[in-house]
């Protein structure tokens, strides 16, 4: 099969559904006019499609709505009830949770700063020989909350 014909076959399905773009349709029509094989292919597809569509819609042999009406009283749309019940509370709940989270973050941050300040205030600095730390001037603090040693050097060499 030629490459052009292959392309045309792909357009045939879109053509049947009326979903082909204008530029593609232009190319397709030009191809169909000169290619006998593709014309026959398109015709076959049209015949099949018409055979399917001509059957129309089969109607339900009974009124399903009447048939299932009593059954609807036996089933409980549990999801419906729960969702409907929760719906008015969802937005305020989400807002409250976000607010609580923000307050917690601020509090944690404030507490950690406070801890560092307390450590700095309460523990007297220990002066060490700067040359041991390879710095011009250095102070060593011990943070009692974290038990970590903090070294402050004016400038490292």
Partner 1 sequence: MKAGRGLSPYELMDEELVEMAQNGDRNAFTILVKRYQDRIYNLIYRYVGNVEDALDLTQETFIKAFVKLGEFRGNSKFYTWLYRIAVNACIDFRRRERISIVHWDDIKPNEFDRLDMDESMNSVDVVGEDNNPEMHMLKSELKQIVREAISALPEHLRIVLILREYEDLSYEEIASIVGCRVGTVKSRLFQAREMLKRKLSPYISI
Q: Taking the complex as a whole, how short is the minimal distance between the CB of residue 123 and partner 1, in angstroms? A: 59
Can residue 64 be called a binding residue for partner 1 (CB under 8 A)?
Answer: yes
Q: Which candidate, 110, 109, 148, 150, places its Cα nearest to that of 126?
A: 150
Between 55 and 157, name the residue whose CB sits nearer to partner 1.
Answer: 55
Q: Taking the complex as a whole, how short is the minimal distance between the CB of residue 22 and partner 1, in angstroms? A: 17
Between 14 and 128, name the residue whose CB sits nearer to partner 1.
Answer: 14
Q: Residue 95, SS3?
A: helix
In the region spanning residues 9 to 48, those forming contacts with partner 1, defined by CB under 8 A, are 9-10, 12-14, 16-17, 19, 40-41, 43-45, 47-48
Beta-carbon contacts of 38 under 8 Å, excluding residues fewer than 6 positions away, are 5, 8, 9, 12, 31, 32
148 burial type by CB count under 10 A (0-12 exposed, 13-18 middle, 19+ buried): exposed
In the region spanning residues 90 to 109, those forming contacts with partner 1, defined by CB under 8 A, are none
Can residue 51 be called a binding residue for partner 1 (CB under 8 A)?
Answer: yes
Which residue(s) pair with 150 in the sheet? 141
Q: Taking the complex as a whole, how short is the minimal distance between the CB of residue 26 and partner 1, in angstroms? A: 19
Q: Which helix (H) or strand (E) holds 111?
A: helix 78-122
135: number of CA atoms within 13 Å, CB side? 15
Between 57 and 129, name the residue whose CB sits nearer to partner 1.
Answer: 57
Residues that bind partner 1 (CB under 8 A): 9-10, 12-14, 16-17, 19, 40-41, 43-45, 47-55, 57-65, 67-69, 71-73, 75-84
């Amino acid at each position: 099969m030629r490459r052009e014909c292959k392309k045309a076959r792909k357009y045939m399905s879109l053509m049947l559904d009326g979903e082909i773009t204008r530029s593609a349709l232009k190319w397709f029509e030009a191809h169909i006019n000169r290619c006998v094989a593709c014309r026959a292919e398109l015709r076959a597809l049209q015949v099949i499609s018409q055979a399917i569509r001509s059957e129309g819609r089969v109607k339900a042999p009974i009124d399903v709505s009447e048939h299932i009406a009593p059954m609807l009283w036996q089933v409980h749309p549990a999801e419906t009830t729960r969702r409907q019940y929760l719906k008015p509370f969802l937005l305020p709940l989400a807002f409250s949770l976000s607010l609580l989270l923000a307050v917690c973050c601020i509090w944690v941050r404030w507490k950690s700063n406070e801890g560092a300040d307390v450590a700095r205030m309460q523990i007297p600095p220990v002066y060490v020989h700067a040359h041991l730390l390879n710095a011009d001037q250095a102070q060593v603090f011990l943070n009692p909350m974290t038990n970590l040693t903090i070294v402050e050097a004016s400038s490292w060499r």
